[in-house]
Chain A
Amino acid sequence: MKYLDEYRDHRIARALVAEITSCVKHSWVLMEICGGQTHTIMRYGLSDVLPREVELVHGPGCPVCVTPLETVDKAIALALRPGVILVSYGDMLRVPGSRSDLLRAKAQGADVRIAYSPTGAVKIARANPDRQVVFLAIGFETTAPANAMAAWQAKHEGLSNFSMLVSHVLVPPAIRALLGTPNNRVQGFIAPGHVCTVMGCSEYEGLVRDFGMPIVVGGFEPVDILESVLMLIRQLEAGEAKLENQYVRSVSPQGNGRAREIVAEVFETADQKWRGIGRIPMSGLRLRGEYAAHDADRIFALSEITADEPAECISAQVLRGLKKPTDCAAFCVRCTPENPLGAPMVSSEGACAAYYHYRRHSVVSQEKSCP
């Protein structure tokens, strides 16, 4: 497919690796934020072909992984209420809550449905006027315009039976929180190309300035990732800290104006809890007061639930780039995609799932038998 295949060209990838190898003089730790980029790195074995001076650590950019346990519990509780249809992106169904998951709730008789697009959830509400349709609206800035559009449509059509349980997170406050921790190792960032397609690059200028660290807005194919690494290494070796855009075919400096407008109309920023990381000030989105009639948190008067993660799960450190999935004693043994302990083993973008799918046979020590 055009704009995909050429960015998977092995000759270009090899040339980029050779160039990185000839540029690098010191050891550097780089973080890719987005789970989609983590998967490309694992799928194509990019960390294996890079010189050993370049270490890639994986960030918290998997919305399924950072959706709070409490939100999953709330979604399950709502799904089990009579008369409710709970609509979710497919990735969320197996994410463990504190006692169950949405797939098990479905098996118990709850009406849980998968939507590919938020407009699909709106359609379900139109077709079922006597049922309450709750859409589990999760995501980063990339997904916020589409989810906002669903709320906007429901409001303008007067669809009183459509509401959203919102868990939206924002990338720049998370980068700020990660860089602000005393044990931070990251020296350069690959910023998420699709988040920046929507939001533009200006917020990342501020991060470069405040932390004196290079950031390259990167795409998602192997050639994109390697070129982003090269751009970061060139800057780091030259002692520079600039914002650069590798993903020019999709990202403009100002982002997508229309998409940003609908997000600003429907949502407002708020403090947000990230699963595995904790509360980060003004790092999330919630529905504005004008959309209260479509806010599941308000109309169902959901009580605040507090829940604890399984003690053995190290996803908190994995999501901060402090540990690799293979550092976990449960990896591949008591934690698999079929029986996950933590969310990063579930999502198609979770770091643990990426290691499980692409690396488990090469990296797991011999005493562990992997399926």
Chain B
Amino acid sequence: MCLAIPGRVLEIEELGPLRSARVQFGGIVRQVSLNFVPEALVGDFVMVHVGFAISRVDALEAERTFRILQEMGELEAEAPATDM
């Protein structure tokens, strides 16, 4: 139920007070409400839950933490194998 999926904002529409966007998830495009994330811009990734964006993915944070994780993986690949 609390599943939220990252999708990329393709196009933004203003419908009166309501703000919505066409958002791409892999090969699928859906209409998503941007009411809770009005700061999202075309090209941004947003986390979407039951048709509503609930956050804008912090690209810098994601990049930074992912690089740390990746380095960890690379170090591990060079280290002797562990039994898993």
Contacts and interface: CB of A to CB of B under 8 A. Distances in A.
A15 B73 contact: yes
Interface residues of B, number: 40
Contacts of A1: 6, 25-26
B2 A194 contact: yes
Contact of A19 (B3, B26, B38, B72): B72
B50 A14 contact: no
Contact of B84 (A17, A117, A223, A347): A17
B51 A119 contact: yes
A2 B50 contact: no
Contact of B6 (A4, A18, A138): A4
Most chain A CB within a 10 A radius of its CB, from B35, B50, B84? B50
Contacts of A11: 73-74, 76-77
B62 A49 contact: no
A15 B6 contact: no
A6 interface: yes
Main secondary structure of the interface of B (DSSP, over half): mixed
B14 interface: no
A317 interface: no
Interface in A262-300: 262
A205 B5 CA distance: 26
Contacts of B1: 35-36, 62-64, 89, 91, 138-140, 142-143, 347, 349
Interface of A: 1-4, 6-7, 9, 11-12, 14-19, 21, 34-36, 49, 61-64, 89, 91, 116-120, 138-140, 142-143, 145-146, 149, 192, 194-195, 197-198, 220, 223, 227, 248-252, 256, 258-259, 262, 347, 349
